[in-house]
Chains A and B, each alone.
Chain A
Amino acid sequence: MSGLTLTLKSAPDRRLDLSGLTPKTLATLSPADIARLPLQCVAGAPTVGDLFALTGSTGERLVIAGGSDRFDFVGATLSEGTIVVEGAVGAFSAASMTGGRLEIAGDTGPGLGSGMRGGIVHVEGSTAESTGGVRAGERYGMRGGIIVVEGDIGPRAGDRMRRGTIIARKSFGDHAGARMMGGTLWAGERFGDEPGIQMRRGTLISPRIGRMLPTFGDGGVHDLVILRILSRDVAARLGPLAPHALPTKVRKFSGDLAIFGKGELLLTG
Chain B
Amino acid sequence: MGGQNIEINGVTIDDTFAEAFGMTGTGVVITADSAKWAMQAAVTMTGFGTSVIGCGAECGIDRVLSPDETPDGRPGVRCLVFSFSPDMVAGQLKNRVGQCVLTSPGSACYNGLEAPQTIKLSTGIRYFGDGWQTAKKLGPRRFWRVPVMDGEFIVEDSVGITTEAVGGGNLLMLGTDRVGLLETCEAAVAAMAEVPDVITPFPGGIVRSGSKVGSKYKGVVASTNDAFCPTLRGAVQSELSADTLAVLEIVIDGLTAAAVADAMKAGIRAVTETGPAKGVTRISAGNYGGNLGQHHYHLKDLLP
Contact = CB atoms under 8 A, between A and B. Distances in A.
Interface string B77-91: 000000000000000
A228 interface: yes
A132 B72 CA distance: 27
A165 B139 CA distance: 10
A230 B138 contact: yes
Contacts of A61: none
Contacts of A237: 139
B136 A184 contact: yes
The main secondary structure of chain A at its interface with chain B is mixed
Contact of A225 (B134, B139, B151): B151
Contact of A224 (B74, B137, B152): B152
B108 interface: yes
A201 B135 CA distance: 9
Size band of the interface chain B makes with A = 10 to 19
A233 interface: yes
Nearest to B142: A163
Given A223-B151, A225-B152, A226-B154, A233 B138 contact: yes
B8 to A, nearest CB: 46
A204 to B, nearest CB: 13
A232 interface: yes
Q: Is the interface of B mostly helix, strand, loop or mixed?
A: strand
Interface string A195-229: 00000010100000000000000000011111011
Given A232-B71, A232-B72, A225 B136 contact: no
B21 interface: no
Interface in B127-158: 132, 134-139, 141, 143, 145, 151-152, 154
Given A223-B151, A237-B139, A228 B73 contact: yes
A238 to B, nearest CB: 11
Contacts of A201: 134
Interface string B181-222: 000000000000000000000000000000000000000000
Interface string A167-193: 000000000000000101000000000
A230 B73 CA distance: 11
A229 B137 CA distance: 11
B137 to A, nearest CB: 5
Contacts of A251: none
Interface of A: 144, 163, 165, 182, 184, 201, 203, 222-226, 228-233, 237, 262
Interface of B: 71-74, 108, 132, 134-139, 141, 143, 145, 151-152, 154
